[in-house]
């Protein structure tokens, strides 16, 4: 009997070791899978931020081909199209995301954004109309304001811009858009105030600087505002002021501003030189 017990023990030991090995293999595989998921997640994030946009498109297209139902990859592809400036392709990509059963409300906002980038304003408005009013985000209201602008619904636009600005800690872009809306309506003082506010939040935003100069020039104020600017920016802003003056038939002022822009620019300022030559030829 004792012999039988001893003969059984090695077998039991082998079974235990085998079970142990299997358990270890399973654990190792699980850990490796977790590591792969983390690595892939990190790679996806890199593709959406620091990678070349067109390379990111290729990466997400290739990865999505093997996992067509994964909404994170669908979002990655759609976002990469936007980053790459491939706005036409971005629309069906975001439509695929919205059609996914796992889609969330923000996906609809992104689709509306893609439609606006393609000047498909009516479709964008329809998408935004389908988003619940309880979804109160900066991007949603910024897009609502832009759609209202396109419809010349000025009161609605102002209301949406005001809400959007209050929902972000970085409102410079929205303030600049709002200012441009005011500029297009001829509300130059309001536009000047909004561009100035945008620059308070983001002093390096050149589009706001240029728009501020346009708003001042439209009021026949041809002095540069007291804002931070590089020498090249100063020359470009003087050029913008000059064109504004010429458009308003203040030709002598425009000529002087063009010459100042040429003298200010640290390199050859071809556009200003050409404009000055054309002005002089027309007056000859």
More confident residue, 61 or 20: 61
Cα dihedral: 183, 187, 192, 194 (round 10):
-80
More confident residue, 280 or 100: 100
Q: pLDDT for 226-258, tens place per residue? A: 999 999 999 999 999 999 999 999 999 999 999
Residue 1 confidence (pLDDT): 46
* Residue 21 scores a pLDDT above 60: no
**273 within a domain of the structure (yes/no):** yes
Q: pLDDT for 263-282, tens place per residue? A: 999 999 999 999 999 988 87
| Cα 95 → chain centroid | 18
More confident residue, 15 or 154: 154
The mean per-residue pLDDT over the stretch 191-216 comes to: 98
**282 within a domain of the structure (yes/no):** yes
Among 66, 81, 103, the domain-final residue is 103
Number of folded domains that form the chain:
2
**186 within a domain of the structure (yes/no):** no
Among 103, 124, 155, the domain-final residue is 103
- Closest of 45, 76, 82 to residue 61, by C-alpha: 76
Residue 182 CB contacts under 8 Å (≥ 6 apart), including other chains: 188, 190, 191, 194
Indicate which CATH number applies to the domain containing 89.
1.25.40
DSSP assignment, residue 223? S
Residue 49 confidence (pLDDT): 86
Among 103, 125, 152, the domain-final residue is 103
**59 within a domain of the structure (yes/no):** yes
Q: What is the extent of the structural domain holding 47?
A: 42-103
**272 within a domain of the structure (yes/no):** yes
The mean per-residue pLDDT over the stretch 151-177 comes to: 97
Q: pLDDT for 207-219, tens place per residue? A: 999 999 999 999 9
**60 within a domain of the structure (yes/no):** yes
Residue 69 confidence (pLDDT): 92
Contact of 225 with 216, CB cutoff 8 Å: yes
Residue 37 confidence (pLDDT): 47
Residue 24 confidence (pLDDT): 57
**52 within a domain of the structure (yes/no):** yes
**17 within a domain of the structure (yes/no):** no
Contact of 206 with 180, CB cutoff 8 Å: no
DSSP labels, 194-208: HHHHHHHH-TT-HHH
Residue 130 CB contacts under 8 Å (≥ 6 apart), including other chains: 108
Residue 44 confidence (pLDDT): 87
* Whole-angstrom Cα Rg for the chain: 30
């Amino acid at each position: 009997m004792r012999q039988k017990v001893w003969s059984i023990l090695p077998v039991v030991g082998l079974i235990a070791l085998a079970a142990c090995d299997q358990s270890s293999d399973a654990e190792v595989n699980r850990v490796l899978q977790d590591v792969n998921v983390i690595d892939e997640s990190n790679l996806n994030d890199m593709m959406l931020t620091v990678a070349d946009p067109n390379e990111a498109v290729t990466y997400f297209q290739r990865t999505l081909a093997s996992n067509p139902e994964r909404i994170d990859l669908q979002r990655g592809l759609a976002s990469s199209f936007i980053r790459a400036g491939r706005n036409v392709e971005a629309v069906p990509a975001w439509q695929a995301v919205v059609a996914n059963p796992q889609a969330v409300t923000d996906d609809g906002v992104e689709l509306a954004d893609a439609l606006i980038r393609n000047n498909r304003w009516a479709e964008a408005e329809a998408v935004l109309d389908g988003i619940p009013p309880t979804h109160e985000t900066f991007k949603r209201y910024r897009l609502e304001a832009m759609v209202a602008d396109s419809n010349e619904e000025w009161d609605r636009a102002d209301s949406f811009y005001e809400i959007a600005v209050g929902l972000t800690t970085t409102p410079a872009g929205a303030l600049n858009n709002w200012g441009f809306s005011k500029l297009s309506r001829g509300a130059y003082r309001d536009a000047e105030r909004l561009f100035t506010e945008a620059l308070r939040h983001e002093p390096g935003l050149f589009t706001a600087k240029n728009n501020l100069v346009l708003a001042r020039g439209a009021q026949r104020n041809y002095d540069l505002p007291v804002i931070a600017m590089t020498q090249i920016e100063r020359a470009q802003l003087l050029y913008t002021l000059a064109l504004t003056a010429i458009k308003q038939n203040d030709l002598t002022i425009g000529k002087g501003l063009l010459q100042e822009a040429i003298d200010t620019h640290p390199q050859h300022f071809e556009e200003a030189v050409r404009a000055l030559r054309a002005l002089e030829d027309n007056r000859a």
